[in-house]
C-alpha cells in the first residue's frame, strides 16, 4: 500500500487556512447562510427559505451540512464555511489518489497542489456556497467513470452514479451533464459509441442514483407542489442558461481570461499544454480530461449567466492535462507568479491612479480599498515577488520550487488578500449587527446555538430569543 507524503497532508489543510478571517462578503454566501439560519428559525429542515420566501436556487445537501456544522460548533463564519473546506480537502485527496493510481506519485502531488492553491479555486474552497461540494462530486463521478472505462469493474460505475446523485442533491442537473458529456465525447473520439450506452443505461447504477437523489425531490413536491420545480428546474437552470440573471453576463470569450487568471501561480502549466496539444490528444487519460474541460468551457461560454466558478466544473479534467506535461522551464515556472505578485504589491498605487476615471460609487470603493491595503499587505506580496525573482535569476526549477510557490501563494491569499477584501465589503455591516440592542439572528446572541435554538415541549424549535447588545 502506498504511503501518503507529508506534503499531501499539508495540502489537505490549505482550505482551512483563514477560513474565518474574512466576513461573509459574497452575495451567495449571504444567501446560503441566511437560508440555513432560517431552517432553525422556522424549525423546518426539509425546505429552504430566504427572508420568509421559498428559496428554489439549489437543492438541500449543502444546507443540511451547514446546519449540522453550526449546530455542532455554533454560528460563525468558520462554521458556515466548514462544509466547503471539508469538501475541498476531500477533492484534493481524491485528486491525489486518482492521479497516483493512473500515473505516478509525482504527478499526483502536482495535481493536488494545483487544486489546493490555484487562486480562483482557493476562493470556492473556503466560501459558504455549494461549489466546492459540487466539484468534489464531479471529480468523483468522472474519475470513477474513467476507472470503469479503463478497468471495466462494475463497482466504479456504481460509485460514479452515487457521486452524481449526491451532486444532483447539491446543485442539480449539472452534476449529471458534465460527467456524462465527458464520457460521451471520449467514447465518440475513439469510435466506441456502445461503451457510452453501456455506462449510462445500466439499470443497477440508475436505480442507485434514483434511490439517493429522488426521495428529497419527491417529498419536496408533495410539500410545495410545482413551486419548487418551476423555480429550480425552469428558472434557475433553463432560464439561467438562456438569460443573464442578477446582472451576471459576459461575452463569449469571458472564460478565456478567467481560466489563466484563476490558475495563478500555476498558469505556466496551461501554456505548456498548449505547446504539446498533439501529445495531449494522443494520451487517452489526457484526452479524457481535455474533452471534459473543453465541454465545460464551451457550454458555459454560451450561457446567458456567467460567473467565474462555472468553468471550475471542468478543472477536475483540466488538471489531468496539466500534470501530463513532463517538464516546465524556469520562465513558465516563474513569470506568471511574478506578474501576479507584482500586480498585488502595486494594487494600492494602481487603485489611486484609477480613481479619477471611475464612477462616483466605484470611486469611493476604490478609495476605501486602497486605504485598507496598508504597508503589511504590500510587504507580503513584495517579498513573494522578490523570492520568485531570485528563483528565476538563479534558474531554480523542479517540483520543490513549484510546491513552495503554490503553498506560499495560498497562505498569502488566505491570510492577506481575502481578509482585506472581506473587511472592506462587509466589516461595517457586521459591526453594526453586533451592536444592535435587540436581534433575531442567532449569531448575535451569546451562548451556543443549541441554547439559542432548542426544541419546545411540543417539538417545535424556538428560533428567536431576546439578546443583550454585544459591546463593540
Cβ(397)–Cβ(388) under 8 Å?
A: no
- The residue that leads in pLDDT, 246 or 192, is 192
Q: Look at 62-71, 151-160, 256-265, 342-351 and tell me which has the smallest mean pLDDT.
A: 342-351
Q: How confident is the model at residue 366 (pLDDT cuts 50, 70, 90)?
A: low
pLDDT score of 425 more than 90: no
pLDDT score of 196 more than 60: yes
In angstroms, the CA 386 to CA 58 distance is: 44
- The pLDDT value given to residue 83: 97
Percent of the chain with pLDDT over 90: 54
pLDDT score of 299 more than 60: yes
- The pLDDT value given to residue 462: 44
Cα 122–66–136 angle (5° rounding)?
45
In angstroms, the CA 205 to CA 183 distance is: 15
DSSP structure string for 384-417: HHHHHHHHHHHT--SHHHHHHHHHHHHHHIIIII
Q: Which residues contact 457 (CB under 8 A, 6 or more apart)?
A: none
Q: Look at 149-153, 276-280, 383-387, 445-449 and tell me which has the smallest mean pLDDT.
A: 445-449
Q: Would you list the domain boundaries of the chain?
A: 12-328, 331-429
Percent of the chain with pLDDT over 70: 81
Segment 85-139, tens digit of pLDDT: 999 999 999 999 999 999 999 999 999 999 999 999 999 999 999 999 999 999 9
Q: Look at 153-157, 388-392, 443-447, 467-471 and tell me which has the smallest mean pLDDT.
A: 467-471
Segment 31-81, tens digit of pLDDT: 899 999 999 998 989 988 888 888 877 899 999 999 999 999 998 999 999
Average pLDDT (344-360) is 78
- The residue that leads in pLDDT, 13 or 450, is 13
- The pLDDT value given to residue 456: 44
Q: How confident is the model at residue 436 (pLDDT cuts 50, 70, 90)?
A: low
Residue 34 exposure: Cα atoms within 13 Å on the Cβ side? 16
Mean pLDDT for all residues in the chain:
84
Residue from 28, 26, 119, 36 nearest 75 by CA: 36
Q: Look at 68-77, 140-149, 382-391, 441-450 and tell me which has the smallest mean pLDDT.
A: 441-450
Classify the C-alpha dihedral 250-255-257-261 as positive or negative.
Answer: positive
- The pLDDT value given to residue 89: 97
- The pLDDT value given to residue 37: 93
The backbone torsions φ and ψ at residue 454, rounded to the nearest 5 degrees and listed phi first, read -120, 150
Segment 203-225, tens digit of pLDDT: 999 999 999 999 999 988 888 87
CA dihedral 125, 126, 132, 136 (to 10 degrees): 60
Cβ(45)–Cβ(64) under 8 Å?
A: yes
- The pLDDT value given to residue 260: 95
- The pLDDT value given to residue 231: 67
pTM over 0.85: yes
- The pLDDT value given to residue 408: 92
- The pLDDT value given to residue 302: 85
- The pLDDT value given to residue 451: 43
Residue from 266, 257, 265 nearest 301 by CA: 257
Q: How confident is the model at residue 262 (pLDDT cuts 50, 70, 90)?
A: very high
- The pLDDT value given to residue 220: 87
pLDDT score of 242 more than 80: no
Amino acid at each position: 500500500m502506498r504511503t501518503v507524503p507529508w506534503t499531501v497532508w499539508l495540502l489537505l489543510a490549505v482550505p482551512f487556512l483563514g477560513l474565518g478571517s474574512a466576513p461573509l462578503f459574497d452575495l451567495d454566501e449571504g444567501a446560503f447562510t441566511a437560508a440555513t439560519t432560517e431552517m432553525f428559525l422556522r424549525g423546518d429542515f426539509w425546505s429552504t427559505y430566504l427572508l420568509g420566501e421559498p428559496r428554489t436556487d439549489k437543492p438541500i445537501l449543502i444546507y443540511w451540512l451547514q446546519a449540522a456544522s453550526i449546530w455542532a460548533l455554533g454560528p460563525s463564519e468558520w462554521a458556515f464555511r466548514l462544509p466547503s473546506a471539508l469538501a475541498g480537502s476531500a477533492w484534493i485527496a481524491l485528486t491525489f489518489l486518482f492521479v497516483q493510481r493512473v500515473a505516478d506519485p509525482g504527478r499526483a502531488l502536482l495535481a493536488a497542489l494545483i487544486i489546493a492553491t490555484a487562486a480562483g479555486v482557493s476562493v470556492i474552497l473556503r466560501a459558504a456556497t455549494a461549489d466546492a461540494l459540487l466539484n468534489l462530486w464531479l471529480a468523483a463521478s468522472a474519475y470513477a467513470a474513467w476507472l470503469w472505462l479503463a478497468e471495466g469493474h462494475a463497482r466504479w460505475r456504481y460509485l460514479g452514479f452515487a457521486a452524481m446523485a449526491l451532486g444532483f442533491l447539491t446543485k442539480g442537473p449539472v452534476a449529471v451533464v458534465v460527467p456524462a458529456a465527458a464520457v460521451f465525447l471520449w467514447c465518440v473520439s475513439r469510435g466506441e459509441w456502445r461503451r457510452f450506452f453501456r455506462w449510462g443505461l445500466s439499470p443497477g447504477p440508475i436505480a442507485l442514483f434514483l434511490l439517493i437523489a429522488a426521495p428529497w425531490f419527491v417529498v419536496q413536491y408533495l410539500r410545495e407542489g410545482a413551486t419548487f420545480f418551476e423555480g429550480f428546474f425552469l428558472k434557475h437552470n433553463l432560464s439561467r442558461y438562456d438569460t443573464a440573471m442578477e446582472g451576471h453576463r459576459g461575452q463569449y470569450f469571458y472564460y478565456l481570461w478567467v481560466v489563466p487568471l484563476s490558475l495563478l501561480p500555476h498558469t505556466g502549466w496551461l501554456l505548456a499544454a498548449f505547446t504539446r496539444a498533439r501529445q495531449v490528444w494522443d494520451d487517452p487519460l489526457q484526452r479524457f480530461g481535455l474533452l471534459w474541460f473543453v465541454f465545460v468551457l464551451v457550454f458555459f461560454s454560451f450561457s446567458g449567466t456567467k460567473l467565474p466558478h462555472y468553468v471550475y466544473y471542468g478543472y477536475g479534467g483540466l488538471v489531468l492535462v496539466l500534470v501530463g506535461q513532463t517538464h516546465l522551464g524556469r520562465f513558465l515556472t516563474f513569470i506568471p507568479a511574478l506578474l501576479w505578485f507584482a500586480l498585488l504589491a502595486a494594487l494600492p498605487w494602481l487603485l489611486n491612479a484609477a480613481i479619477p476615471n471611475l464612477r462616483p460609487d466605484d470611486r469611493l470603493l476604490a478609495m476605501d480599498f486602497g486605504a485598507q491595503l496598508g504597508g503589511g499587505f504590500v510587504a507580503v506580496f513584495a517579498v513573494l515577488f522578490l523570492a520568485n525573482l531570485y528563483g528565476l535569476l538563479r534558474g531554480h526549477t523542479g517540483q520543490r520550487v513549484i510546491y513552495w510557490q503554490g503553498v506560499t501563494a495560498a497562505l498569502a491569499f488566505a491570510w492577506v488578500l481575502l481578509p482585506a477584501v472581506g473587511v472592506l465589503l462587509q466589516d461595517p455591516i457586521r459591526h453594526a449587527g453586533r451592536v444592535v440592542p435587540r436581534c433575531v439572528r442567532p449569531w448575535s446572541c451569546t451562548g451556543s446555538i443549541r441554547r439559542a435554538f432548542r426544541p419546545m415541549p411540543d417539538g417545535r424549535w424556538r428560533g428567536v430569543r431576546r439578546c443583550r447588545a454585544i459591546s463593540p
